[in-house]
Chain A
Amino acid sequence: MSAVLTAVGRAAAGVWWYLREVSGETAYDRYVEHCRRHDAEARVLSRREFERRRQDERDRSPQQRCC
């Protein structure tokens, strides 16, 4: 029983990881990590600032959607 529960739990965690990655929710975490790695002193944007900047970037680089 507990083996089944563990398997279900792992599958659910996998789905959650995938959804967060695909939807770009983890972009901010990666950005923070990126900043820390390169320069521990640098000012790190808040999540709000970061997401705004990321959204506004899309204004300049359109993404094609296919037929």
Chain B
Amino acid sequence: MVDTVRTETTPPRRRPPLRSIVIWSLVAAVGAIAWGVVALTRGEEISALWLLAAALGSYAIAYRFYARFIARRVLKVDDTRATPAETLRNDTDYQPTDRRVLFGHHFAAIAGAGPLVGPVLAAQMGYLPGTIWIVVGVIFAGAVQDMIVLFFSMRRNGKSLGQMAREEIGVVGGVAALIGVFTIMIILLAVLALVVVNALAHSAWGTFSIAMTIPIALFMGFYLRSLRPGRVIETSIIGVALLLLAIIGGGWVQDSSWADTFTLSPETLVLALVIYGFVASVLPVWMLLAPRDYLSTFMKIGTIALLAVGLLLARPVLQNEAITDFASRGDGPVFAGSLFPFVFITIACGALSGFHALIASGTTPKLIEKESQVRMIGYGGMLMESFVAISALIAASVIDPGLYYAMNAPAGFLGDSLESASQAVAGLGFSITPDQLAAAAASVEESTLVARTGGAPTLAVGMSQIFSDGFGAGGQAFWYHFAIMFEALFILTTVDAGTRVGRFMLQDTLGNVWKPMRDVSWKPGLWLTSAIVVAAWGYFLYAGVTDPLGGINQLFPLFGIANQLLAAIALTVATTILIKSGRLKWAWVTGIPLAWDAAVTLTASWQKVFSDDPTLGFFAQRERFSDALANGEVLPPARSLDDMRQVVTNSTVDGVLAAFFALLVVVIIADATRVCIKALRNPSAVTSTEAPHVRSNLVAPSGLIPTRAERELMAAAARGDRDGHG
């Protein structure tokens, strides 16, 4: 039997060749040494390359051994079985796609701002906890979730996570999953938009560059539609060139009389984003969304590759501590709460992201050629995302810690001047002088870097240091704004796409009640549902921007909890399917990450709801401020009674949401447990939800590089094809 054709019988075990034993022992040794250096170095400077080596070594081992084990033993991938891309092929939704191409599409869909922002904020705890979780989390939870959800969806002709929850668990689970997905998306969009607003506020350079992406995208859309249909590469090259021009142009605008026009307050930016989000989601896709998507994908992949090369060339030394005191005390200024559970909540997408389950049960399963490719696309794609997260963590950790806290602590804490910020940072146990703060801002040509929360500006400062060191001195201001542009660009693409997806979900749901809504091109329905979605995230965005306590440290934990709870839903569905299909002995593969994820998120929600500490618990915060309000007092950092009222409202809304998310997941897990117990008691009553086995006629390799046996099979198939067609 050859390697690629695998039937339900267990493959014969062969002794691995000596060469492979030597190579993998070496990889393991490099990884282990790197981990040793990373974990044991204290008090002396450590090169960022050790972090990269530890991560890459671990990924290689995990991909080679654990992912293969899951594919063969747990999922029992069967390449004699045709995938939906083959059986349902219609050359639009369903279409066998080359594994390397599909890897690119899948990665472009899962990679976003989350793994860039989360690790930057988590750097508050030091570089070690973040690194460990990003690597361990992806190996045992994140990549496993992506791969298994992809596999189960593929076996069910590409059903969505919501549909699978409904079929496997029941109506309660299905409805809870649907509500969960929708609310989580709203919070996600608000938090991402908040990151953009914080990065662009009071910066003429950034605002001008980002504003220019709209005419650039419109031009590209028109070019692709009318001038040169389908020429995506040439259009994208023109777009990227214009984009670079817009970044350079931003520098000129900042020094010109136009500067005031593009220097906007956060509130104005919120309004602009809300209007933009609405317009973008009702316009035809070809005009704005599709070209933006090309642009942001090219920029994303390009910048990530650039960052990897930059890290190798610059070989920066980490300035951050391995583990800061905030990890145990839980009183960090960037976000409240101690290491467990908040480092896991904050890192979110880089290690485990519930959102990926939506992609893995969306377009990808309909395009996959061979079942065994779920390993490369699902598991491999997520490893790459984790690598992005590690790079972001490094970028945040090469910055001087004094500057890091001056940028990421809330404005209310840092005060209005460089002197007050310097003193506040000193109060945290770090030091930076007002002159150094002014110099740091001047080096990237921004008016100030104090309280530029949200993660994006910090990442941009770190990246600009790495780039200007790695690619020759100078140009720090350009690289800073390049990095800001890169993040803002694909956050805005996510906002466009997310608003549109939310609108479709809403149209579909309302369509059950009132028929005309279901027609997705019916204009009044389209406007109404778009407006509802935009208003929902716009509300949280506005509340975040004007929050006297600092929006990011209030909203980001909520976003993290939401995303991790979605992962809990996905892992619950996966575990249920494993148990129902008679694989109880393998249920730990998703069961253990589920237990861990549930423990993390439920602890975090519990603390956010019930903690007595007003910086941590939303209701304790509410009580503290409403008591003061009743006495007519103003508690800092609030400055007026209106501020006080706003804190009370925000903490109430946030607290209710945290409780609601937790409740949702408890309901789903409880319902799934009931279903699993029922299935275990009476296995014969369980009906399979898989599509029937159809014999596959396609030949394609499993992994990136075809094995010799696979090459022979492909050559034979090609000969057969030629003969068959005469």
User: A residues near B, CB below 8 A?
Assistant: 18-25, 27-28, 30-31, 34, 47-48, 50-52, 54-67
Contacts and interface: CB of A to CB of B under 8 A. Distances in A.
B104 to A, nearest CB: 4
Given A25-B231, A47-B229, A64 B497 contact: yes
A67 B104 CA distance: 17
23 contacts: A22-B101, A22-B104, A23-B232, A24-B232, A25-B232, A30-B91, A48-B229, A50-B230, A55-B290, A56-B286, A59-B284, A62-B497, A64-B497, A66-B110, A66-B111, A66-B112, A66-B114, A66-B349, A67-B112, A67-B113, A67-B188, A67-B348, A67-B563
Interface residues of B, number: 52
B575 interface: no
A64 B360 CA distance: 11
Q: Which of A27, A48, A50, A65 has the most B CB atoms < 10 Å from its CB?
A: A65
Contacts of B503: 62
Given A58-B286, A63-B362, A67-B355, 16 more contacts: A18-B101, A22-B101, A23-B236, A25-B231, A25-B232, A25-B233, A56-B286, A62-B497, A62-B504, A65-B490, A65-B497, A66-B114, A66-B349, A66-B358, A67-B113, A67-B494
A20 B98 CA distance: 12
A67 B101 contact: no
B233 A62 contact: no
Contacts of B359: 64, 66
Contacts of A65: 109, 112, 293, 490, 493-494, 497-498
Q: Which of B232, B356, B521 has the most A CB atoms < 10 Å from its CB?
A: B232
A66 B232 CA distance: 22
Contact of B114 (A24, A47, A67): A67
B494 A66 contact: yes
The 3 A-B residue pairs with the shortest CB-CB distance in the complex, in nearest-first order? A67-B114, A51-B229, A23-B232
A64 B358 contact: yes
Nearest to A61: B93
Q: Which of B286, B294, B521 has the most A CB atoms < 10 Å from its CB?
A: B286
Contacts of A23: 232-233, 236, 294
Given A31-B91, A34-B91, A58-B285, A63 B353 contact: no
Q: Determine chain B's interface SS by DSSP, over half rule.
A: helix
A67 B189 CA distance: 8
Contacts of A27: 230
B83 to A, nearest CB: 17
Q: Which of A55, A56, A58, A64 has the most B CB atoms < 10 Å from its CB?
A: A64
A18 B363 CA distance: 19
A26 to B, nearest CB: 9
A67 B190 CA distance: 11
Interface string B553-564: 000000000010
Nearest to A58: B285
Interface in B273-302: 284-286, 289-290, 293-294
B225 interface: yes
Contacts of B497: 62-65
A61 B93 CA distance: 10
A67 B493 contact: no
Given A31-B91, A62-B501, A67 B236 contact: no
A18 B100 contact: yes
B362 A59 contact: no
A66 B115 CA distance: 10
Nearest to B493: A65
A21 B104 CA distance: 10
B92 interface: yes
Nearest to A25: B232
Contacts of A58: 285-286, 289-290
B114 A64 contact: no
B72 interface: no
B355 A57 contact: no
B356 A66 contact: yes
Nearest to B503: A62
A55 B358 contact: no
B200 to A, nearest CB: 19
A52 B112 contact: no
A51 B289 CA distance: 15
Contacts of A59: 284-285, 521
Contacts of B667: none
